[in-house]
Structure 1
Amino acid sequence: MDGNGKQTGSTVLVVDDVHASSYALGAVLRRAGHRVVPVASGGEALTELGLRLRQGTLPDVALVDVGLPDMSGFELCRRLKSSPTTAALPVVHFSAVSDGPEFRCRGLDSGGEAYLSVPAEPEEIQAVVRAAVRSARMRTGAEALARRLRLLSETIVSVHAARCMKELVQAAAEGTARLTGSPAVVFVLGEEGELYRGLSPSRARASLPDSEANEAVARLIRGLFAGHTGARGTVVPYPLWPAGFLRPGKPEDARVVVARSQEGKPAVCLAVPARGPTDDGDPLVARLAQATALAAEALLMYQVERHVALTLQHSFLPQEAPEVQGVETVVRYVPASRQTEIGGDFYAALNTSHGVLAAVGDIAGHSLDAATVMVELRHALRAYCVENPDPRSLARRLDRLLQHFHPDVTATVCLVLVDPDSGRVRIANAGHIPPLVVHEDGTAEYARADGPLLGLGLDRPPPTEAVLGPADRLLMVTDGLIENRGTDLAVSMEHLRTAAADAPPGVATLCDTLLRRFGHDREDDIALLALRLGSAGLG
């Protein structure tokens, strides 16, 4: 607007086949500071708008006579409002034929924003056009804000759903680029000084600055956070901002927003090209920076926890089975992929006074707590079986241990006591997949052994008894090997039984065959233990 409050810089499409009327309207609008584009028919108006759409320069308002030579102004308005590309263009109908309610109602019903009866005072014409433009701009601004808020929300969801730092910084960079319509780069500086970088798609295809430029950004982030937390934005002039991160080889100033929840936590830097030294930033980008900082903090903390848990699991779950008397035993343990959660799977093969005790179990939940409870149960099992290796008795004692020390935790476990001399086995199952016996003749069947989870304090059924033949193989697994979302576990167990029956001879071969068949890209840890009567082996 100018100093008198008049709206300037607007473009008005005047659709009128009467030259004198069109000229008069144009003169009034030009005096108010508007640019005027005159056309004489509805067809010419549609052609003009098509050209302007391709150029990206639609008028701000259309002033349309209701009595055009090729179509009515109402029909032209309906066509404009029915097309997504021109629906937001405000239409003001005018007519010198009638000032009654009929034409006004028809104009509003066709989608028009206002109606003028001409001749009219110049001030009225100018006021109606200003109001239509102002309303359209407010509506367009609200729609643009709603769209950007939706983009922000979608980006925050993607950032928090990231399974690793590479996914997080990439999601943040892509979201920043969509919010701002410009190239973007995102850095996360970890607590130990490690730097993660993500680039918007258009920028990621070109060559990038070297490691010295990355270190310069790390120093810049540390400097911006000296004594500060929260989010703050600033323009970093070249050469303090290394060239090439935002556009290939181009030295330019950068608008950066940095965010950190508290001292000692990961710091986030979102950067886009600066529009000028007085660039005051974008509040939505600042919100995204804060959300990214919180997500990075949680993800890095989880990665530390996962490393500790995996260290525990690898320490207590060796990849080779211990030597046990009279039984060949093979074990396999495969942690879930790096992007998924920590599990509590475990196995054990122990020599006892009554034979070999084999166990496979799974602690409910995915966390460092699950891994530590797994270690406790495994140690307790080793201690308890020295006194009494009976599977049912062991299941009861492990159940009481969980109730006493971890009342909110449940676990599954399958315990099998094997007499190497007779082949007699005793099985106690606590909510776990039962053992699978693979016979020499190429058949396989699950032992009929079940029972309630550990940690519920429920009574234990008597052990299931069976006899293994000299060439029979007994397989115990955790559900991470076969469980799939949306697939009934019974169906997955049948697939496992069929694959095991078809596996080549040998206990190691059996485990490796099943891992190749089922063990790719699993969302949970996998533990397997297979045994058969015969000489002790190391897997």
Structure 2
Amino acid sequence: MKHTWPIDTVTDAAQARIATARLASAYGLSPLQRTRLTAALSAHLRQCLAKGGSWLLTLYVTGTAAEQAHLHVTVIAADPAAHPPWRTSVPCARTPIAEDGSVPDSPEVLAESLLDADEDAGVLLERLAEQEQLVAFHREELHQTNQGVLALHAELDAAGQAQREAFAAEHRARRQAEDARRRLTFLADASAALTSLNHDEVVRRLPELLVPEYARSVDIWLFDGDDERRPATPHPAAAVTAARTGRPQYAALEPGGLPGVDDQPASALDPERPLLCVPLPTRRAPLGVLTLAPPGDRWDPDDAVMLIEFARRASIAIDNARRFERNRDIAETLQRALLTDLPTTPALRLAARYLPATHGLNIGGDWYDAFRQPDGSLVAVIGDVTGHGLRAAVMMSQLRTALRAYAVDGSSPGTLLTRLHTFLHHLQPDLYATAVIARFHPDEPTLTWAAAGHPPPVLRTPDGQVHTLDAKPGAMLGIPLNQQIEDHTVHLPPGSTLALYTDGLVERRAQGIDPGIARLADALAAFGPAELEDLDGSADRVLDPLLSDSERDDDVCLLLCHVAQHAAV
């Protein structure tokens, strides 16, 4: 069986090394063989990470019944032409004791792997101690018979020194790996903490993340006037240089020698305190400068590199939050301009609610409208243009305007939807919509309605019964299909309430749409006649049980139409 692991980061390399060690043990490799294999693999993975890019580690076993089985390990770059592959193989058992190449991504697994590596190293040390005892025994015998043992003794001392140096180097490597893991963990946690779409919140979090571990103080200088809300303070010359050049600057009495950072004289504002001034870059120009004072006398060079990367991520977070806020303000302004003021009549009261999706821009293609026709009938419509954003909102506005224009001649709902279908297909062939139109007749207890690919209206009669008006609807508006959408008529006694809505109210990805329609029907059935007199309050009470989850992937639109007990439409 072949096992593969993609390697892009230090964490990927560590998990691949753990999985290799586990599989080597499963195929019966001795501690010595496992240690040699994993040490060679670790050295090569370290080189791969230094070169950068994506790598793929593959492990498999070959060998027939008559041949010795071998465990093969291969590391190949995403671009094989740029970096030659690395391969090694060791003899192994043909059938594994247990084979599991999966490694959970957790600190406990990494810690367990570290202890397993120490255990293998302990076995080697025990063998080395036994060999040293044996050598010492023979050295004592040879010392009495041959002066040449002195040369052997010197060689053994040199080997011991080399071993101690190797252990010291391993200790340093482990400490460096732990420091690298700490920095990567900090960057990962900081990136997660800076995901807010409120740029003030992002700016506020920056000092909290850095002080006191990586900085004694933090000053954030933004160029676009946000600092006007704070008292004006002078900025160090190194910060001005960083803003002008776009490169990090280090101002101190002595050069810092930090990688990727230019040295500057000490700041005149505080000559005794070193300062690291890092620009906040974007694709266009820096947003500002992050000025830090070290937590001690100076920064570790690797910490300085990490802080520069932190500033880059913080800049992206601030820039994204500002873009979102600007687009959100534009979207909310446009959405308010597109919402319709509902007509008021003694016989028919209307209440509408529109809630944007909680993800992305607060604008979409859902809409509602209500207006009178020349014969006195009142038309209520609710619709949904596919997609989100400004394009869907503009198309929704055009459909609403076209519908009002088509309705001037008193056409029925089915005819109006048929015309809208033709209009949308010719205007935007790649855009579609759904809609329901309900027509309340003057002086007649009837309701005429038609639907095109839209969730069915729900009607509550005065006796508390709820009916789903699911007679045959038309297809979606705008699809490449010639269709004539039919009208449907139902009896509408006084005191009835009609609910028109979009799928964002009733559809949930894990459940579908039918359970949501049933919950809407239950909510309408639970109202008493007196409660429906307060139609705005009833609209809110309908939304509460259906939108108990705070996250909405789609816009929500609801239009309630209540016929008074003793009045004409």
- Measure the CA separation in 1 of the matches of 2:522 and 2:442: 27
Conserved 8 A contact 1:156-1:291: yes
- Alignment match, 1:303: 325
Distance (Å, rounded) in 1 between the aligned partners of 2:235 and 2:410: 60
The equivalent of 1:130 in structure 2 is 165
The alpha-carbon distance between structure 1 residues 430 and 124, as it changes in their structure 2 partners (threshold 3 A), is same
Question: C-alpha separation between the residues in 2 aligned to 1:218 and 1:440?
Answer: 72
Q: 1:142 to 1:475 in 2, by over 3 A?
A: same
- What corresponds to 2:536 in structure 1? 508
Return the offset for 1:129. Answer: 0.7
Moved more, 376-385 or 339-348: 339-348
Structure 1 spans left out of the alignment, 5+ residues = 1-80, 101-116, 197-209, 242-250
2:240 alignment partner in structure 1: 223
2:196 is aligned to 162
* Shift in alpha-carbon separation, 1:282–1:365, aligned structure 2, 3 A: farther
Which residue does the alignment assign to 2:222?
189
Q: Spell out the pairing of 1:471-482 with structure 2 (5 A cutoff).
A: 471-482=495-506
1:51 aligned residue: none
- Displacement of 1:356: 1.2
Distance 1:174 1:259, change over 3 A: same
CA contact (8 A) 1:388 1:394 kept: no
- Whether the aligned pair in 2 keeps the contact of 1:169 and 1:186 (CA below 8 Å) is no
| Alignment match, 2:447 | 425
Percent identical residues: 25
Deviation of the 1:311 alpha carbon: 1.1
Relative to structure 1, is the Cα distance of residues 262 and 290 closer, same or farther in structure 2, using a 3 angstrom cutoff? same
Q: Aligned to 1:227, what secondary structure does the other structure show?
A: helix
- Name which of 336, 339, 354 aligns with 1:314: 336
Q: 1:346 to 1:82 in 2, by over 3 A?
A: closer
1:486 aligns with 2:513: no
The letter for the 2-side match of 1:509 is G
Counterpart amino acid of 1:508? D
Q: Which residue of 1 aligns with 2:556?
A: 526
Alignment of 1:324-403 (within 5 A): 326-336=347-357, 341-354=362-375, 355-403=377-425
- In the TM superposition, what is the alpha-carbon distance from 1:396 to its structure 2 partner? 2.9
Distance 2:211 2:480 in 1: 55
Does the residue aligned with 2:561 lie in a helix, a strand or coil?
Answer: strand
Contact 1:163/1:340, CA 8 A, preserved across alignment: no
Partner of 1:404: 426
Question: Are 1:481 and 1:522, in contact at CA under 8 Å, matched by a contact in 2?
Answer: no
CA distance in 2, matches of 1:370, 1:187: 39
Q: Which residue of 1 aligns with 2:521?
A: 497
1:165 alignment partner AA: H
TM-score by length of 2: 0.61
Task: Give the whole-Å Cα distance in 1 for the aligned partners of 2:362 and 2:197.
Answer: 9
Task: State whether residues 402 and 455 of structure 1, in contact with CA within 8 Å, keep that contact through their aligned partners in structure 2.
Answer: yes
Q: Is the 8 A contact 2:356 2:362 kept in 1?
A: no
How far, CA to CA, are the matches of 1:82 and 1:279 in structure 2?
29
- Once the 2 structures are TM-superposed, how far is the Cα of residue 448 of structure 1 from its aligned partner? 0.9
CA distance in 1, matches of 2:312, 2:464: 60
Say if 1:394 and 1:477 are closer, same or farther in 2 by CA, change over 3 A: same
CA distance in 2, matches of 1:218, 1:359: 59
Matched to 2:165, the amino acid is R
Q: 1:528 to 1:82 in 2, by over 3 A?
A: closer
Q: Give the RMSD, CA atoms, in angstroms.
A: 4.2
Q: Is the 8 A contact 1:344 1:365 kept in 2?
A: yes
Deviation at 1:349, TM superposition (A): 0.3
> Within 2, Cα distance between the matches of 1:219 and 1:307?
35
Cα distance between partner residues in 1 of 2:209 and 2:422: 51
TM-aligned CA distance change 1:484 to 1:135, over 3 Å: same
| Residue 97 of structure 1: aligned partner | 133
Quick one: distance in 1 between partners of 2:187 and 2:317?
Answer: 14
Q: Which letter does structure 2 place at the counterpart of 1:259? A: L
Kindly tell me: are residues 151 and 441 of structure 1, through their superposed partners in 2, closer, same or farther at Cα, counting changes over 3 Å?
A: same
Please tell me whether the aligned partners of residues 446 and 493 of structure 2 are also in contact (alpha carbons under 8 angstroms). no
What whole-Å deviation, never above 9, does each CA across 1:57-109 have from its counterpart, x for those lacking one?
xxxxxxxxxxxxxxxxxxxxxxxx97967966975442443359xxxxxxxxx
3-state secondary structure, aligned to 1:498: helix
Check whether the contact 2:241–2:249 (CA below 8 A) recurs between aligned residues.
no
User: Which residue matches 2:176?
Assistant: 141
In the alignment, the residues of structure 1 paired with residue 319 and residue 498 of structure 2 have an alpha-carbon distance, to the nearest angstrom, of 45
**Alpha-carbon separation, structure 2, partners of 1:194 and 1:536:** 59
1:232 is aligned to: 248
Q: Is this contact kept in 2: 1:323–1:536, CA < 8 A?
A: no
Task: State how far apart, in whole Å, the 2-side matches of 1:370 and 1:253 are.
Answer: 54
> 5+ residue gaps in structure 2?
1-110, 137-151, 253-265
